[in-house]
């Protein structure tokens, strides 16, 4: 790849990593795909798109070295046998086709694995309860276990080399087994693998040695090290023992991959709780202690931030997981002077939710992720138009904008009508909630790209009736009119409309103008909205009571790795929190709840009740149009079809555009074992 003639040339310089050379400084760090060993072709197609998009190094997700590191039902790679070698070779070949290096992150989870599929005994440095829900403990490893473990690491490294890996990892991050040996928090051993910093570092040193020996010097050896466990003085800290550890191991690996540890959510914090490049203050010391190249992450979306960190000697390689998911072609766009076209990661962590739900990867900004093999979608290529049909899209929210952009890119004549002056739909409100300002990038990117398409016309402040639509004369109508919050209380726990006194002050997130204190927020939606509104109103000085049907605040944000910081934020603001309460009825000045455990009734006084329960589609135009014999074909997309999160709305709009005018649509492909 030739160096670009722009200010970002430095980002495209090659970097020597031991015996191999990265063609540029863009490094797609390890991240899960939800595909793992069960879907090698889908995984290979996803990684190939990253390589095609200009990432100089493309890394796998964690790759188990032995059946005693089994993370079922979550999808992960493995290098246990020759079948795994053949499967991984498909990815290596795909990545190498575009001149990129393949890195394989070898992994053992220790007490963070349940081994429910393999039924192997879990392992740990000192013996302790498994960290996962469910019964079980990890036994303490004796010297024979340590020798066996090093043998597994070496065998997996040798298999990785034969599969085509260029970089092989020693993985001492995210609270997995090697970090468990490093950490004084959980390593209570009294032998040469415990006690002093040097002793606790011994296993990592031996892992590097066996990995290098097993690969015969053909592969670079990377050490992924968490510089701070975020457990305070009980664990490793970036301004404490981490410096001693880096000093002891400084020149042993060929590459340092540095980040934060504790739960995975600490490393991949959402934009709600972190800024771009937030890890810089933690990892900046590493380069002063080693001559080897250093890669780190920080949800990088700005080329200026990337360039600054390289120039200032913070990092040698710009690591990215989520930004590479949002835009696999981010490096190419910077190289070609098209940085304005980058689909910037919004840090919503829907990608993390996919991993935590054990399903294939998804992304709010990039609807093609995970669909490269399954549906044949590519983030930069789409089939041209198949007819001259003119399309009218009603609604300029996430689904409508994505449909207009994809259809316009195909070459269709598209007219988008939006009833408001501003495009964005639901994003106009949601992006103004605390910590969610990056969400407006979903609108901004599509609005900007649409401005480049002469065949797409946008009409603002255009409220249409069914008659208007028929008279417009489009060949196809697409309704992206969104949804509204329910006012009847139906949600997750609430299955029937509530009894609500006529004099009660009841609102939804759609109408917050006349709320009276104390404001009782009832969250039976369980995603971000209830907690975000509680924070917003409390910061405005309002008296807030937060009540949820679930046992924890904003329960589904466990999937996006945000639940703990969401609840901590509400506690910090002094909000009265009640959990496990299901709303039964609403009186004029109080609401009656039934507790989940005792089933007793409890009345909570209120000025206003703010219902955050469920959505219903705004689909009256669909009803009106389908009742008319003179109406053109009409399709609903996004929340108008089935209310969900923004990622689903974008995907729905993109799917319609991909499949429009196609004679037949096969079901998504699935990988099956050969008979």
CATH of domain 59-264+275-316: 3.20.20.70
The C-alpha atoms of residue 143 and residue 163 are separated, in whole angstroms, by: 30
Per-residue confidence (pLDDT) for residue 265, from 0 to 100: 67
Averaged pLDDT for residues 297-324? 96
Sign of the alpha-carbon dihedral angle for 61, 67, 68, 72? positive
Per-residue confidence (pLDDT) for residue 132, from 0 to 100: 82
pLDDT in tens, 371-394: 999 999 999 999 999 999 999 999
Percent of the chain with pLDDT over 70: 98
Which of 2.60.40.10, 3.50.50.60, 1.10.260.40, 3.40.50.80 is the CATH number of 499-616?
3.50.50.60
> What are the angstrom distances between the C-alpha of 312 and each of 85, 305, 316?
40, 10, 10
pLDDT confidence bin for 673, thresholds 50/70/90: confident
Find tokens 């190094």 and name the residue. Answer: 57
- Exposed, middle or buried: residue 395 (CB in 10 Å: 0-12, 13-18, 19+)? buried
pLDDT in tens, 610-633: 999 999 999 999 999 999 999 999
pLDDT in tens, 356-373: 999 999 999 999 999 999
Averaged pLDDT for residues 271-278? 93
Give the H or E element holding residue 52: helix 40-52
Domain boundaries, the chain: 59-264+275-316, 390-482+618-659, 499-616
Is pLDDT above 70 for 594?
Answer: yes
Q: How far is CA 15 from the centre of its chain?
A: 28
The C-alpha atoms of residue 319 and residue 334 are separated, in whole angstroms, by: 15
Could you tell me the fold of the domain covering 390-482+618-659? Rossmann fold (3.40.50)
pLDDT in tens, 468-525: 999 999 999 999 999 999 999 999 999 999 999 999 999 999 999 899 999 999 999 9
Can you give the pTM of this predicted structure? 0.95
- Exposed, middle or buried: residue 144 (CB in 10 Å: 0-12, 13-18, 19+)? exposed
As a dihedral over the C-alpha atoms of residue 263, residue 269, residue 275, residue 276, rounded to 10 degrees, the angle is: 100
pLDDT in tens, 512-571: 989 999 999 999 999 999 999 999 999 999 999 999 999 999 999 999 999 999 999 999
Per-residue confidence (pLDDT) for residue 675, from 0 to 100: 61
Give the H or E element holding residue 276: none
CA geometry: angle at 182 spanning 176 and 184, to 5°?
110
Is pLDDT above 90 for 262?
Answer: no
Strands 590-595 and 581-586: antiparallel
Residue 196's contacts (CB-CB under 8 Å, 6 or more residues apart) are none
The catalytic residue positions are: 176
SS3 content of the chain, % helix, strand, coil (to 5): 35, 20, 45
SS3 track for 331-373: HHHHHCCCHHHCCCCCCCCHHHHHHHCCCCCCCCCCCCCCCCC
The C-alpha atoms of residue 212 and residue 206 are separated, in whole angstroms, by: 10
Sign of the alpha-carbon dihedral angle for 406, 409, 413, 418? positive
Tokens (6 digits) for 340 = 């304005």
Residue 546: phi, psi to the nearest 5? -105, 125
């Amino acid at each position: 790849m030739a160096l670009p003639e722009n200010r970002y040339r430095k980002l495209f310089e090659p970097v020597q990593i031991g015996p191999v050379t990265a063609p540029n400084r863009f490094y797609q760090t390890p991240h899960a795909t939800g595909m793992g060993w069960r879907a090698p072709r889908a995984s290979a197609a996803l990684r190939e798109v990253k390589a095609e998009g200009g990432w100089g190094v493309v890394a796998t997700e964690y790759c188990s070295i032995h059946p005693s590191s089994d993370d079922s039902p979550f999808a992960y790679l493995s290098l246990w046998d020759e079948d795994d070698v053949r499967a991984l070779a498909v990815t290596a070949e795909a990545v190498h086709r575009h001149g990129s290096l393949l890195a394989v992150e070898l992994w053992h989870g220790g007490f963070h694995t349940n081994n429910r599929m393999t039924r192997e005994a879990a392992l740990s440095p000192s013996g302790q309860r498994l960290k996962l829900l469910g019964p079980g403990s990890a036994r303490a490893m004796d010297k024979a276990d340590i020798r066996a473990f090093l043998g597994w690491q070496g065998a997996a490294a040798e298999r990785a080399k034969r599969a085509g890996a260029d970089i092989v990892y020693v993985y001492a991050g995210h609270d997995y087994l090697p970090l468990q040996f490093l950490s004084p928090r959980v390593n209570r051993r009294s032998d040469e693998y415990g006690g002093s910093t040097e002793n606790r570092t011994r296993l990592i040193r031996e892992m590097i040695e066996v990995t290098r020996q097993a690969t015969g010097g053909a592969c670079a050896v990377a050490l992924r090290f968490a510089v701070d466990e975020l457990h305070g003085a009980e664990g490793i800290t970036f301004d404490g023992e981490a410096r001693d550890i880096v000093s002891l191991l400084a020149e042993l690996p060929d590459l340092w991959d540095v980040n934060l540890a504790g739960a995975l959510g600490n490393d991949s914090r959402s934009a709600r709780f972190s800024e771009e490049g937030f890890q810089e203050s933690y990892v900046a010391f590493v380069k002063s202690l080693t001559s080897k190249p250093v890669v780190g992450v920080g949800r990088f979306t700005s080329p200026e931030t990337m360039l600054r960190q390289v120039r200032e000697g913070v990092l040698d390689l710009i690591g990215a997981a989520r930004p590479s998911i949002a835009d696999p072609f981010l490096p190419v766009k910077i190289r070609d002077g098209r940085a304005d076209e980058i689909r910037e990661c919004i840090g919503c962590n829907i990608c993390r939710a996919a991993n935590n739900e054990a399903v294939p990867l998804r992304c709010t900004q990039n609807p093609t992720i995970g669909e490269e093999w399954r549906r044949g979608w590519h983030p930069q290529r789409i089939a041209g138009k198949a007819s001259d049909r003119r399309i009218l899209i009603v609604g300029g929210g996430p689904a409508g904008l994505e449909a207009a952009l994809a259809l316009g890119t195909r070459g269709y004549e598209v007219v988008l009508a939006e009833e408001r002056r501003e495009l964005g739909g639901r994003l106009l409100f949601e992006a103004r909630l605390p910590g969610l300002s990056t969400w407006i990038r979903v609108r901004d990117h599509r609005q900007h790209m649409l401005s480049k398409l002469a065949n797409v016309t946008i009409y603002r402040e255009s409220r249409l009736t069914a008659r208007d639509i028929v008279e417009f004369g489009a060949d196809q109508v697409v309704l992206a009119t969104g949804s509204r919050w329910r006012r009847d209380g139906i949600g997750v726990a609430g299955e029937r409309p509530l009894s609500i006194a006529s004099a009660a002050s009841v609102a939804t997130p759609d109408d917050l103008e006349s709320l009276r204190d104390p404001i009782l927020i009832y969250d039976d939606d369980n995603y971000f909205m209830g907690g975000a509104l509680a924070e917003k109103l409390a910061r405005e000085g309002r008296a807030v009571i937060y009540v949820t049907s679930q046992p924890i605040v904003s329960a589904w944000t466990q999937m996006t790795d945000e639940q703990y910081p969401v609840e901590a934020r509400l506690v910090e603001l002094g909000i009265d929190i009640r959990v496990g309460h299901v709303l039964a009825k609403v009186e004029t000045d109080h609401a009656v709840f039934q507790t989940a455990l005792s089933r007793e009734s409890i009345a909570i006084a209120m000025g206003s009740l703010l219902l955050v329960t469920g959505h219903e589609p705004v689909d009256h135009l669909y009803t009106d149009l389908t009742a008319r014999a003179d109406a053109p074909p009409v399709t609903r997309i996004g929340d108008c079809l089935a209310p969900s999160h923004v990622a689903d709305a974008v995907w729905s709009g993109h799917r319609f555009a991909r499949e429009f005018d196609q004679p037949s649509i096969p079901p998504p492909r699935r990988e099956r074992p050969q008979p």
